[in-house]
Amino acid sequence: MKVRFFLIFTAALFLAGCAGSATAPSAPVDDMAAAGGKAEKKQDKPGPRAALDVLVAAVPHGHTVALTGFRRLGGAADTLAAQVRGRLEPLVLAACRDRGLEVVDRENLDLVLNEWKLAQSGITGSDMGAAGLLGARVAITGAVAREGRQVHLFLKAVDLATGRVLATAGAFQPASLYSFDPAPRQTLPANMGVSADGRVTLAADAAAYSFGDHIRLSFSVREPGYVTVIDVNPEGKKTILFPNSYQTDNFCRPGRKYHIPPDDAAFDLEVTPPAGVDRVMALLSDSPGLAAAAATLPTAALTRGIVVRSRARAVIRVAIRRKPQERPPVGAASRPRTDRTTINHNP
């Protein structure tokens, strides 16, 4: 009896141990490992705040920072890039505050990005025009990609005055934080623009120009009003293209296409340095004095001023490039820079 009892007791302990090992909870699997479809050893991957701290540490004191748009990698036409920017906003503000850096406030930043389509065009290098419009010297920008169950952020801080990349950093976030809804399709090329309400349409006769080329703009309105056309060059300098000394009446009516310069005009618009991206805006307003008011506004305050003073706005972008034969040799002195668009008198 004693032997039988011992064998039964031992067998019971063995079966209990097997059952316990079969039902014990498994160790948690890292989200990043799960994204690959198999269990892996958990690895630490940097989050957005750690990556932003790296970028912000490279920004010189006294420079203002702006969080601009992101590119979506992988060819997907969804809203991921815009969502990433929205989630990074409070983190950028906190990282800059810890370093004593000023950040362009969200209201003004969104206003400028939307009105001048800066998020769509992207900011990849030297762009004093964008710097002036944003009121910032450094842009935090980059690209995003979905990788299984995670979103990979490729972040960088760019000096808008020089185009120099101050720092780069990568970060990861769970894809579950985001939706992947289709983004609105951009059907218009960069050199064509329509206001959000359709009341103003603006276009250039080409998407890119070289120094010495002649540019021709056209616009139309769906309701009567006063039109002002403003050009902001890559250095942030503003030029009022319409009205001008040859086209002084800027009251425009629907049913007609207006041209700058008009047919058989006594002037033309010649493209001059610097190279980069020109941003041109047509404004529809109730006052003929909008042009004069806009010309006196500091560039950083321009956007809010024109929004207050106008009913509708259309924006286009044109690329200005140096002709290959005009590229100066290494070490040669550069030519003095002049206005982006010079109004030349035709005898």
Domain boundary among 177, 203, 233: 177
Whether residue 198 sits in one domain with residue 135: no
Q: pLDDT: is 45 or 225 the higher one?
A: 225
Whether residue 204 sits in one domain with residue 111: no
The 10s digit of each residue's pLDDT in 215-244 is 999 999 999 999 999 999 888 888 999 999
- Asked whether the beta carbons of 308 and 195 are under 8 A apart, the reply is no
Whether residue 144 sits in one domain with residue 53: yes
- Domain assignment present for 292: yes
- Domain assignment present for 218: yes
Sequence-distant (≥ 6) Cβ neighbours of residue 231 within 8 angstroms: 238, 239, 240, 241, 278, 279, 280, 340, 341
Task: Pick the closest to residue 142 from 52, 75, 210 (CA basis).
Answer: 52
Pairing of strands 65-72, 138-147: parallel
Domain limits at 301? 192-324+339-345
pTM of this prediction? 0.72
The 10s digit of each residue's pLDDT in 169-211 is 999 999 999 998 887 766 778 899 999 899 999 999 999 999 9
SS3 66: strand
Sequence-distant (≥ 6) Cβ neighbours of residue 70 within 8 angstroms: 81, 82, 84, 85, 141, 142, 143, 144
pLDDT band at 285 (very low <50, low <70, confident <90, very high): very high
- Domain assignment present for 138: yes
Domain boundary among 177, 202, 222: 177
Whether residue 199 sits in one domain with residue 285: yes
Instruction: Find the helix or strand (DSSP H, E) in which 308 lies.
Output: helix 299-309
User: What percent of the chain has pLDDT above 90?
Assistant: 50
Q: How many CB atoms lie within 10 A of CB 9?
A: 10
Mean model confidence pLDDT for the chain: 81
- Domain assignment present for 33: no
Whether residue 265 sits in one domain with residue 202: yes
Whether residue 317 sits in one domain with residue 215: yes
The 10s digit of each residue's pLDDT in 291-321 is 778 777 887 788 888 888 899 999 999 999 9
Q: pLDDT: is 53 or 133 the higher one?
A: 53
Whether residue 290 sits in one domain with residue 227: yes
Domain boundary among 124, 145, 177: 177
State the CATH number of the domain containing residue 276.
2.60.40.2550
- Domain assignment present for 35: no
- Domain assignment present for 213: yes
- Domain assignment present for 219: yes
Q: How many CB atoms lie within 10 A of CB 85?
A: 22
The 10s digit of each residue's pLDDT in 70-114 is 889 987 778 899 899 999 999 999 999 999 999 998 788 888 888
Domain count, the chain: 2
pLDDT at 34: 35
pLDDT at 15: 42
Whether residue 235 sits in one domain with residue 115: no
Q: Which residues pair with 143 in a beta bridge?
A: 71, 154
- Domain assignment present for 29: no
Whether residue 147 sits in one domain with residue 196: no
